[in-house]
Structure 1
Amino acid sequence: MKHFDVFNGDADGICALHQLRLTKPLKSLLITGVKRNVELLARVPARSGISVTVLDISLDSNRAALLELLRHGAEVEYFDHHFCGAIPEHPNLKAHIDTAPDTCTSLLVDRHVGGRQRLWAIVGAYGDNLLHAARTLAASCTLEPAQLDQLRELGESINYNAYGESEADLLIPPVMLYEILRPYADPFDFLANEPIARTLCESLRRDMALALSLPPDTALAGGTIYVLPNEPWAQRVRGAFGNFLATSSPDRAHAVLSQSVQGEYVVSVRAPLANPYGAVELCRQFTGGGGREAAAGIGRLPHDRLREFTVAFERAFADASQAQTLSAQAAGPATK
Structure 2
Amino acid sequence: MNYDIFNGDADGIIALLQLRLANPVESELVTGVKRDIGLLTKLTEKVALTKADKLTVLDISMEKNKPGLLKALNEGAGVFYADHHRAGEIPESAHLDAHIDLDADTCTALIIDRLLDGQFHYWAITAAYGDNLIAKGDKLSKAAGLSVERSEQLKELGTLINYNGYGAEVEDLHFHPATLYRALLKYSSPFDVIADKSSPFYRLQHVYQEDMNNALAIEPEHRSEKLSIFELPNEPWARRISGVYGNLLANQNPNSAHAVLTKNRDTTYTVSLRAPLSNKQGAGDICSQFDTGGGRAAAAGINALPKELIVSFIQTVEAFY
Q: Which TM-score bucket, shorter chain as reference? A: over 0.9
Greater shift in the superposed pair: 192-201 or 96-105: 192-201
Report the equivalent of 1:13. Answer: 12
Deviation at residue 213 of structure 1 after TM alignment: 1.8
Report the equivalent of 2:40. Answer: 41
Letter in 2 for 1:12: D
Aligned mates of 2:169, 2:305 — CA distance in 1: 17
Deviation at residue 144 of structure 1 after TM alignment: 2.1
Matches within 5 A, 1:113-132: 113-132=116-135
Is 2:317 aligned against 1:316?
no
Report the equivalent of 1:137. Answer: 140
Question: Could you give the per-residue CA deviations for residues 134-189 of structure 1, whole angstroms, max 9, x where no partner exists?
Answer: 12222332422211111101100010011101000001100000011111101111
Report the equivalent of 2:251. Answer: 247
Report the equivalent of 1:152. Answer: 155
Aligned mates of 1:175, 1:80 — CA distance in 2: 19
Report the equivalent of 1:326. Answer: none
Deviation at residue 307 of structure 1 after TM alignment: 1.6
Question: Could you give the per-residue CA deviations for residues 207-232 of structure 1, whole angstroms, max 9, x where no partner exists?
Answer: 11221222211012312111112222
Is 2:291 aligned against 1:287?
yes
Of residues 172, 177, 190, the one that matches 2:175 is: 172
Question: Could you give the per-residue CA deviations for residues 312-335 of structure 1, whole angstroms, max 9, x where no partner exists?
Answer: 122122xxxxxxxxxxxxxxxxxx
Aligned mates of 1:252, 1:307 — CA distance in 2: 18
Report the equivalent of 1:181. Answer: 184
Letter in 2 for 1:226: F
Letter in 2 for 1:106: A
Of residues 77, 97, 103, the one that matches 2:100 is: 97
Number of residue pairs the alignment of both structures matches: 316
Of residues 52, 55, 59, the one that matches 1:56 is: 59
- Secondary structure class of the residue paired with 1:79: strand
Aligned mates of 2:309, 2:253 — CA distance in 1: 26
Is 2:226 aligned against 1:222?
yes
1:4, 1:31 within 8 Å by CA — same for their partners in 2? yes
Letter in 2 for 1:116: Q
Deviation at residue 61 of structure 1 after TM alignment: 0.5
Aligned mates of 1:226, 1:120 — CA distance in 2: 32
- Supply the RMSD in Å over aligned alpha carbons: 1.1
Deviation at residue 258 of structure 1 after TM alignment: 0.2
Aligned mates of 1:268, 1:310 — CA distance in 2: 13
Report the equivalent of 2:27. Answer: 28
Larger radius of gyration: 1
Letter in 1 for 2:308: D
Report the equivalent of 2:301. Answer: 297
Aligned mates of 2:136, 2:109 — CA distance in 1: 11
Question: Could you give the per-residue CA deviations for residues 279-312 of structure 1, whole angstroms, max 9, x where no partner exists?
Answer: 0010000011111000000011112211221211
Letter in 1 for 2:54: S
Is 2:264 aligned against 1:265?
no
Report the equivalent of 1:192. Answer: 195
The gaps in structure 1 that reach 5 residues or longer are: 318-336
> Following superposition, which runs of at least 4 residues in structure 1 exceed 6 angstroms of deviation?
none
Aligned mates of 1:262, 1:162 — CA distance in 2: 22
- TM-score of the pair, normalised by structure 1: 0.92
Letter in 2 for 1:10: D
Aligned mates of 2:56, 2:150 — CA distance in 1: 31
Identity score, percent: 46
- Secondary structure class of the residue paired with 2:229: strand
- Secondary structure class of the residue paired with 1:225: strand
Report the equivalent of 1:78. Answer: 81
